[in-house]
Amino acid sequence: MVNAQKLVEAMEEGIVLLTYTCLVTNLKKQREVTIAKEFTNNFELPHTILDNKVMCYDVEFRRWHDIEIDTILKWKKVE
């Protein structure tokens, strides 16, 4: 299981490559996500982890996603 708090800390510092299973299609997806204000137009969420979900900003599509923590397969910081 993924440590959600460590994931949030990594996203606060920069971009993370997140691999997860989409609940709608059941396909494995990879997205570059973050919550760092420099990438989110200085928008800051009051709560990043809600219930069993983590909020993150998709860098390519420029929109917010909520991803269930249980569907996250792996993540790594993007250098």
User: Measured between alpha carbons, how far is 27 from 5 in angstroms, rounded to an integer?
Assistant: 25
26-38: per-residue pLDDT in tens?
A: 999 999 999 999 9
Residues recorded for the chain? 79
pLDDT for residue 78: 96
Cβ 56 vs Cβ 35: under 8 Å: yes
41-70: per-residue pLDDT in tens?
A: 888 887 788 889 999 999 999 999 999 999
**Domains present along the chain, CATH in parentheses:** 4-77 (2.30.30)
pLDDT for residue 49: 85
Cβ 32 vs Cβ 60: under 8 Å: yes
In a 3-state reduction of DSSP, which class is residue 50? strand
What's the token pair of residue 49? Answer: 């982890």
Cβ 75 vs Cβ 55: under 8 Å: no
